[in-house]
Each structure stands twice: as structure tokens, then as C-alpha cells.
Chains A and B, each alone.
Chain A
Amino acid sequence: MNLTASLSLIAPELVLSASSLILLLMAAWMGDRHTQTISWLAALALAAATILAVPALSGGASGLSSEAFGGQFRADAYAAFAKILIYIAAIASILVAPAFFERLRAMRAEYPVLIVLATIGMSIMVSANDLMTLYIGLELNSLASYVLAAFLRNETRSAEAGLKYFVLGALASGILLFGMSLLYGFTGTTNFAGIESALGGGAQTGALFGLIFVLAGLAFKISAVPFHMWTPDVYEGAPTPVTLFFASAPKVAAVTLTARVALEAFGGQVEAWRQIVVFAALASIVVGALGAIGQTNLKRLLAYSSINNVGFLLIGLAAASLAGVAAMLAYLVVYVAMTLGSFVALLLLQDRTGEPLETLGDIAGLSSRSPGVAWSLLVLMFSLAGIPPLMGFWAKFVVFRAAVEADLLLLAVIGIAASVIGAFYYIKVVKVMFFDEPADREVAAAGGVNWAILIAAVLFISPLGYLLTGWLGTLANTAASALFIAA
């Protein structure tokens, strides 16, 4: 193993680790008053890591040259694609936080540090090429996430969200570990390529058990049905910037990780895991769409919306083809933009006393009180519903096209039908904002960073985003092909 070559491949992680240690010491010395400074520095470190990840993506890194530490870690174009997306989402969740926590007088300098540490974990997850790397990355991310969910420790809801997330997350980790130990027992290795060659084309019952347990553990992380129960409660209880983080970055990490495990470690057992993925995809789409209908809390509503979106992402994976994975990656980009936009819009909604407007009733008639936010939300909701000519439509279109090409016509048809159910509650939000009697709650003006992120997200998913589809499609294809060359 060439240590220098390995270290150069993990440059983004090294930068993030070093800056997390420095920022932690700064947080201890400078105190909570300087959270703003520490947040900007953390965002800067993440931006540096993003730049360091770009060459692997544009260079289409793949194969043996992208393996570090004797095959435990893989810094290929696929990982780079996911990393860039994760870093951008992490930057957004750091920048929107100070204004939110300042209002509650709960500003803590540890927030950006924990986000950076969680991001390192996700970075390791998407580059994992070994079951042990997978587990270490997942735990680093999860542990930081549990703390972040309970960050407002004096609020019962936040503490409850943290506890719930922790208990269920620990259970999922246990399931995952059990599956991993079965796989190790039946194949004699933890390396993805090693597992694939040891399994060959067939799947013995024991290894199949391992596969199912590993997928179940990962399904918890991406909150796919039937492992989604924690999502609405945790998203509702966690502080909104943390929810924004949970709904974007860890989703990207877990979905790309699941695809890598499925295609690299179980490349010969496609038929075995496809049934599971198809079931989870359909169940997520339907439960996400139906569950959202009765919700009055906007954060819960968006939680169900994220469950619904995971279903569409899994359709791309179920195709198990290059086109399918590329479609999944493209969907992830659009999903992250829509999620960041929706949650930032939520953060912008607060009344004069600083109370957040969180329920459907609060945003009734928003168009007359805060037209900017209302119109942005209109675009976001229509995009989430998949209404052309917005980017949400393009994302769903590429995913369904990949599914049809992979002869999963029935899956695509049911998915399209279910997305019509989903459109109902997105449009209901728009209806409440534009046609209901205005609620008597003032909407206060809020920070410039939030507006910048909201405008960027809305512009990206607006028809203008179609100018980028060619470029995005090429990048997604390069990234996805890294997965298939290696396999």
C-alpha cells in the first residue's frame, strides 16, 4: 500500500478532519458569541473540500487508481459526485443556522463543528469499498446526527427527537452489523469486490440473509418504507436547520452508499435485491404520498415528502443499470435543491416575535403577506409534485425512463400513478397560501443568506435549470460509469 498515494486520495476528508479539530478548539476558546465566525470558517473548509473533490469527478476517476488503503476506500467519480452534493448541502445547513439559533438564544459554537464531523462520516460512507469502512462512516455520521437532533436540549420536542433517532438508529446499526457479520462469515472478506467474487453468480441462503439485513439497516438510514417510522417525528422535533441537514446530506450519502453496496458487493445477485428495492420504492412512494395528506405541520409534511422522494430514487436503483444509477444521481441533485429550498423557505417564515410559522394554518394567505416566499414555495411545491416545466419533472422523467429501459414497466406505471396522489398535497399547500383567508400572523423579514440560498434553489429548479441538464447528465453518467467499470 502506498501511503502517500492513499493520503492524496483522501484529501477532502483530511482537510475536513483537520479543520474540525481546529474549529473545535476555536469553539472552546472563543465561546458561543463567535459562532458566526466559526460557521463561516466551517463553510470555507467545506468549500475547500468541494474544490478538492472536483478533479476526481471531472477526471472520471475509477478503477484501481482510485483505491486507497488497500481497497478500503474508493475516491472515484461516483464518490466525488455524491461528496460535492453533500458538502454543498452541509454548507447550506451551516449558514442558515446562526440566525435560527440566535433567535432562540441557543447559539452553540459546536453546531458547525458537529456538522463538519457528520460530513466527514458521510464522505467516508460514499467512498466506502469495504464493510468496515461503511460502518465507521455510518456511525460517525449517525452519532453526530443524534446530537444535532437533540441540539435544543431544553426543548422537549428536540430532546425527544434525539432520543427516538438514537434508539431506532442503534437498532438499525445492530441489524446492519448482524448482516455484515453473516456476510463476512459466508464470504471470508469484508471487501466489496471480494464479496462479489466470493458469492459468484449464486446466492446461498446464508449470504442472502446477510444481504437482506445489510439492506434493511441501510433502508433505515434513507428512511425507506418500512423503516421510515422515525422520520416524521425526528424531522418535526429537530431544530429546522438540523432538519434541513437531515433531509439533504445524509439522504445523498445513504442512497449512494446503498447503490454502491447493491451494485458492487451484490452485483451478481441483482434479482435477489431488486425485489426488495422495488418493494421499498413502491411502498415509500405510496406511504409518503398518503401519509402527507393528513399533516398540518409543514415539517412533518416535508418529512413525508422526503419518504416519497426516496421511493423515486430507489426506482433508479432498481433498474440496476448505468442509466438507472445516472438517473438516480441526477434525481439526487434536484432533490437536494428542492429540499434546501423548501426548508430555507420555512426558516424565512416567522412572525414578529420570532415564533416560526410551522403549520398549514399559519401560512394561509401567505401570498398577500410575503409574496416572495409564497411564490418561491409555489415553484418548489410544483417541482416536488413533478409538474412540467420544472426540474422536478425532469428528474422523475429520467428515473422512469431508466426503469422502462430496464424492463420494469409495471414499476414505472405504478410509480407515475402514485406520484399523482403525491401531487395532491403539494398543490394543497399552494392552495392554502394563495386562496385561503390570510391568517392574522405577521411575517417578519429575515436574513440575507437564507434569501440567497432560496433564490439559488428556485432558479435551479425553474425552467432555467434545463440549461444545465446536458452538463448534469454528462456528469451523472461519468459518475455512474465509475461504479460499473469497477464492478
Chain B
Amino acid sequence: MIQTFAFYLFAVLLIASAVLVITSRNPVHAVLWLIVAFFNGAGLMVLVGAEFIAALLVIVYVGAVAVLFLFVVMMLDIDFAELRAGFIRHFPLGVLIALVLLAEIVLGVGAYRAGALELGAAGVAAEPIAGRSNIDNIGALLYTRYLFLFESAGLILLVAMIGAIVLTHRERPGSHKTHQNIDRQVRRRPQDATVMTRPDVGQGVEL
């Protein structure tokens, strides 16, 4: 009973916040609603027993992706009035696309009724390990059977990093001067920096 209650709670909140994401006028508010949606999605994931996915949703999506979205939204210089004018101008086209998508959803739902879902029917599927949690099972597969895909995914992350640096990083003029060169600092000796002189009275020193 309580499970059903929790499902409806999360599902209703998820849909409501998802609607608010696309209807809120301020993009920052939209991102905040998106975070709420992610949280409720994580709750739903817990309900179906995918605890690791739930944790990923909170750690990666709420913790990192939402922050990135916020930064990007704040980086954009959005003129809201113009945006709204565009919305009215393209409204008929939007309705048309929405109708097409709606038709697709209807057909898709019909498709689900037409054929049976056969999750886990193929002979090659791995058996879950008895007595171990969801996260153990994921680990046992991800790092052995799917190691090739896992390492390739590592390369994708690497490309994301290179891409971000190539596209946004700029050498700022003057940044080299302030650069701390630890090696040079350590190699520096007193005799490089100070000079001992014994000037005669009234003669002064040459530096």
C-alpha cells in the first residue's frame, strides 16, 4: 500500500515539476524545477529496485548536470520579450509538431499492447547473483563482461574534457607572469638573490 502511495507521490511530483520546467518563464526557475524532477525520478528508481541508478541521478544529475545547466543558462544573454515574441510567431508550427509527437505516443502505446515485452528472455542474459545487492550485481557485470564498453566510455569522457578545454579555454595575456614555477623557487639559493658588500664610507653601492 505504502509503495503504491510512494509511487503516486513521486510520479505526480515528477510530472508536475516537468510541466513547470517547460512553462516557467525564467530559465533559472526551469533549472530548479528540473532538479525537483530529478529527485522524484530518483525516488521512482528506488521503487523499482534500481538503487544505483537512483544514486547516480542524485549525484550526477542533481549534483553536476543541473549545476552545469545553471551556468549555461546564466551564460546566455536571453531577451525574454524577444523569446516570447518568437513563441507566438512559431506557435502554429509548435502545435503541429506537438500533434505529430502525440500521434507517435499513441502509436507507441498501441505498439506496447500489440507485442509482449520479453525482458531477459534471451539465453545470454546474466543471472543475478543471489543474496547480493543491486549495486554488487552491476559491478560484477560492468567490470568484467562489459569492460570493453566501460573503457570506451572512459574515452568518451576524455573527449568531453578535451572538447571543453579546446573550445572554451583561453590563454589569458599575462597569466604566464603570475605562474608559480615551483622548480625555480626550490632551486633558488641565497647567493642568487643577495650580495654581501662592504662599501667604503661615502662611496655608496653599485647594484
Q: Which residues of A contact B (CB under 8 A)?
A: 1, 6, 10, 17, 20-21, 24, 68-73, 108, 110, 113-114, 117, 120-121, 124, 132-133, 136-137, 139-140, 143-144, 146-147, 150-151, 153, 162, 182, 184-189, 191, 194, 197-198, 204-209
Contact = CB atoms under 8 A, between A and B. Distances in A.
B162 A110 contact: yes
A140 B117 contact: no
Contacts of B108: 182, 209
B124 interface: yes
Contact of B145 (A70, A133, A146, A151): A70
A70 B151 CA distance: 16
Given A143-B163, A162-B167, A189-B122, 7 more contacts: A72-B148, A117-B155, A136-B153, A185-B118, A187-B121, A189-B125, A206-B111
A117 B158 contact: yes
B152 A136 contact: yes
Contact of A147 (B116, B119, B167): B167
22 contacts: A24-B162, A68-B148, A69-B147, A117-B155, A117-B162, A136-B149, A136-B153, A143-B159, A147-B162, A147-B166, A147-B167, A151-B166, A186-B117, A187-B121, A189-B121, A191-B122, A194-B122, A194-B123, A198-B118, A204-B115, A206-B111, A207-B115
8 closest Cβ contacts across the A-B interface? A204-B115, A189-B122, A188-B121, A147-B163, A205-B114, A206-B111, A188-B118, A206-B115
Nearest to A187: B118
A198 B120 CA distance: 11
B174 interface: no
Interface in B114-140: 114-125
Nearest to B118: A188
B152 A198 contact: no
B115 A188 contact: no
B143 interface: no
Given A189-B125, A209-B111, A146 B149 contact: no
B160 to A, nearest CB: 6
A188 to B, nearest CB: 4
B107 interface: yes
Contact of A144 (B110, B118, B146, B163): B163
- Main secondary structure, interface of A, reads helix
A155 to B, nearest CB: 12
Interface in B11-32: none
Contacts of A113: 162
B203 to A, nearest CB: 49
Interface in B155-176: 155-156, 158-160, 162-163, 165-167
Contacts of A209: 107-108, 111
Contact of B111 (A24, A71, A72, A205): A205
Given A117-B159, A136-B156, A140-B156, A10 B148 contact: yes
Interface residues of B, number: 35
Contact of B124 (A124, A136, A191): A191
B112 interface: yes
A313 B88 CA distance: 42
Pick the most buried of A68, A140, A198: most chain B CB atoms within 10 A of its CB. Answer: A140
Most B C-beta atoms less than 10 A away, residue of A113, A137, A143: A143
Contacts of B158: 21, 24, 117
A6 B149 CA distance: 13
Contacts of A206: 111-112, 114-115, 117
A115 B62 CA distance: 32
A185 B115 CA distance: 10
A284 to B, nearest CB: 22
A316 B158 CA distance: 37
B166 A72 contact: no
A73 B156 CA distance: 17
A202 B163 CA distance: 44
B167 A153 contact: yes
Contacts of B117: 185-186, 206
Contacts of A184: 119
Contact of A188 (B111, B125, B152, B162): B125
Contacts of B153: 136
B119 A188 contact: yes
Contacts of A150: 167
A70 B120 CA distance: 17
B122 A114 contact: no
A194 B121 CA distance: 10
A133 B146 CA distance: 10
Nearest to B170: A153
A188 B120 contact: yes
Contact of A132 (B123, B149, B159, B166): B149
Name which of A17, A71, A136, A162 has the most chain B CB atoms within 10 A of its CB: A136
A114 B159 contact: yes
B175 to A, nearest CB: 15
Given A68-B148, A191-B122, A209-B107, A114 B162 contact: yes
A182 B114 CA distance: 13
Contacts of B149: 72, 132-133, 136
A207 B156 CA distance: 29
Contacts of A189: 121-122, 124-125
A70 B124 contact: yes
B166 to A, nearest CB: 5
A426 B111 CA distance: 46
